[in-house]
Amino acid sequence: MTDITVYSTDYCPYCTRAKDLLSRLGQDYTEIDVTNDDALRAEMMEKSGGRRTVPQIFINGEHIGGFDDLNARHKDGTLKF
């Protein structure tokens, strides 16, 4: 079973795109909303090497990056679940 975590905010269009892509690919994911939670945002930043932007996506503990990174892997065939 694949463990996918998406750190997001409720107003982020790239978060919506990432979640839509994962859903279209038949993948379940855990969403962690950092909209109004400084502690969760700090956790996200620590895990992602200091990145502040959302989404930040992790697959089986590996930091994938944001939507553009996820989509690029999907398009070039390197996205593995």
Domain CATH number, residue 62: 3.40.30.10
Q: Encode pLDDT of 18-54 as tens digits.
A: 999 999 999 999 999 999 999 999 999 999 999 999 9
Interaxial angle between packed helices 13-24 and 67-76, expressed in degrees from 0 to 180 and rounded to the nearest 10: 30
The pLDDT, as a whole number, for residue 1 is 78
Model-level pTM? Answer: 0.95
pLDDT for the residue 67: 98
Q: What distance in Å separates the CA atoms of residue 17 and residue 67, rounded to the nearest whole number?
A: 7
67 is a domain residue: yes
Instruction: For residue range 45-79, list pLDDT tens digits in order.
Output: 999 999 999 999 999 999 999 999 999 999 999 99
Helices (H) and strands (E) in the chain, counts: 3, 4
In a domain? residue 14 = yes
Provide the number of structural domains found in the chain.
Answer: 1
As a whole number, mean pLDDT of residues 1-18 equals 96
